């Protein structure tokens, strides 16, 4: 019960409050959601990705094994999402949203606070979560984007669209500048920080505005329910098997197991809105998985303590 309260009040409740603010503002002012989506995708998100990649320092000794684990874990989730979407006989747009909802994890504004809360006495736990955030950024803006674009386009059009996105450039430039330790003038760094800091709040308010337009009766459909089960139940089960197979132990095992249980990333909804591919379905999945994760993440945290504490 202690973990349940901590996870809810320190992680889930702040997210829900931001969603509520967005919903209330939308009902009163009727925002142009497409304009907000463009602001996020072409300005705030690239800045946040750049700063995140540029600032991250990770422990090289654990990097290789963790990246290998994350690759295997993500590929297994991709296969799971593809198989289940075919079994459910989803159309191309729904399948794209479904696959993203399984693979793309809220490892940033959900995962980092949980990690800092649980591993305050051991910085390794937070370092591992930062590695996961970087990996998830890469997966989101490669596999996640490809899923959405390929549902409406094919071939060279997909490559052109990906290369035009400023967040792809931000990812590459941030990584190069990090590796080569290139400094940034304060006249550029200050506005970059302003934009990066605005990303989470604007993204959550926009998601809340989307949710304000939904018919809540549709939330319990097969896509949302199976997606939530896949993300919050099958994800941790798969992670447990891989952790045992790869012989992880202690804080490393705990961190990876807990990270596997986080809900669907808000970015899956942001990108769906930008490309107008089932944005309502994507928003409902994010909301439902976030609320349910209050219980499932608590259980996973407890099990991680029992297994590797």
pLDDT score at 91: 92
* pLDDT beyond 80 at 293: yes
pLDDT, tens digit, for every residue of 140-162? 878 888 888 887 666 566 667 66
> For position 26, which CATH number holds?
1.20.1530.20
Give the least confident one: 32-46, 125-139, 223-237, 270-284.
Answer: 125-139
The stretch 162-181 carries a mean pLDDT of 82
pLDDT score at 18: 87
pLDDT score at 45: 79
pLDDT score at 165: 75
How many domains would you assign to the chain?
A: 1
The stretch 18-35 carries a mean pLDDT of 90
In sequence order, the β-bridge partners of residue 105 are 264
Between CA 45 and CA 200 the distance in angstroms is 9
**CA-closest candidate to residue 206, choices 139, 138, 274:** 274
Range of the domain at 14: 2-308
Best mean pLDDT range from 40-49, 174-183, 195-204, 235-244: 235-244
Mean per-residue pLDDT over the chain, rounded = 85
pLDDT score at 160: 72
Q: How confident is the model at residue 4 (pLDDT cuts 50, 70, 90)?
A: low
* pLDDT beyond 70 at 3: no
Within 13 Å, how many C-alpha atoms sit on residue 282's CB side?
28
Q: What percent of the chain has pLDDT over 90?
A: 35
Please tell me which residue, 154 or 96, carries the higher pLDDT value. Answer: 96
* pLDDT beyond 60 at 96: yes
Q: How confident is the model at residue 86 (pLDDT cuts 50, 70, 90)?
A: very high
The stretch 58-74 carries a mean pLDDT of 84
Q: How confident is the model at residue 59 (pLDDT cuts 50, 70, 90)?
A: low
Contacts (Cβ under 8 Å, ≥6 apart) of 258: 114, 115, 118, 297, 300, 301, 304
Q: How confident is the model at residue 58 (pLDDT cuts 50, 70, 90)?
A: low
Exposed/middle/buried for 229, CB within 10 Å: 0-12, 13-18, 19+?
middle
Best mean pLDDT range from 28-37, 77-86, 115-124: 77-86
Q: How confident is the model at residue 113 (pLDDT cuts 50, 70, 90)?
A: low
**CA-closest candidate to residue 139, choices 230, 81, 70:** 70
Best mean pLDDT range from 44-48, 243-247, 299-303: 243-247
pLDDT score at 74: 96
* pLDDT beyond 60 at 79: yes
């Amino acid at each position: 019960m202690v973990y349940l309260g901590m996870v809810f009040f320190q992680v889930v409740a702040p997210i829900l409050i931001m969603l509520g603010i967005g919903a209330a503002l939308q009902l009163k002012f009727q925002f142009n959601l497409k304009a907000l989506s463009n602001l996020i995708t072409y300005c705030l998100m690239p800045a946040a990705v750049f700063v995140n990649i540029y600032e991250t320092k990770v422990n090289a000794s654990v990097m290789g094994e963790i990246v290998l684990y994350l690759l295997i874990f993500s590929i297994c989730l991709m296969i799971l999402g593809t198989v289940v979407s075919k079994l459910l006989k989803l159309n191309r747009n729904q399948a794209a949203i479904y696959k993203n909802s399984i693979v793309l994890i809220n490892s940033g504004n959900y995962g980092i606070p949980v990690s800092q809360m649980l591993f305050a006495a051991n910085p390794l736990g937070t370092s591992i979560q930062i590695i996961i955030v970087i990996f998830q950024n890469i997966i989101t803006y490669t596999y996640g984007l490809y899923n959405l674009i390929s549902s409406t386009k094919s071939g060279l059009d997909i490559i052109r669209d990906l290369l035009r996105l400023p967040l792809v450039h931000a990812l590459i430039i941030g990584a190069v500048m990090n590796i080569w330790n290139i400094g940034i003038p304060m006249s550029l760094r200050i506005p970059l920080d302003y934009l990066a800091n605005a990303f989470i709040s604007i993204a959550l308010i926009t998601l809340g505005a989307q949710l304000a337009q939904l018919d809540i009766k549709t939330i319990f459909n097969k896509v949302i329910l199976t997606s939530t089960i896949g993300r919050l139940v099958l994800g941790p089960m798969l992670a447990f098997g891989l952790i045992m197979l790869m012989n992880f132990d202690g804080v490393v095992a705990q961190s990876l197991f807990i990270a596997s249980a986080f809900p669907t990333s808000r970015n899956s909804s942001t990108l769906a809105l930008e490309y107008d591919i089932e944005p309502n379905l994507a928003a409902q999945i994010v909301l439902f998985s976030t609320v349910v994760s209050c219980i499932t993440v608590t259980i996973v945290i407890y099990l991680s303590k029992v297994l590797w504490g």
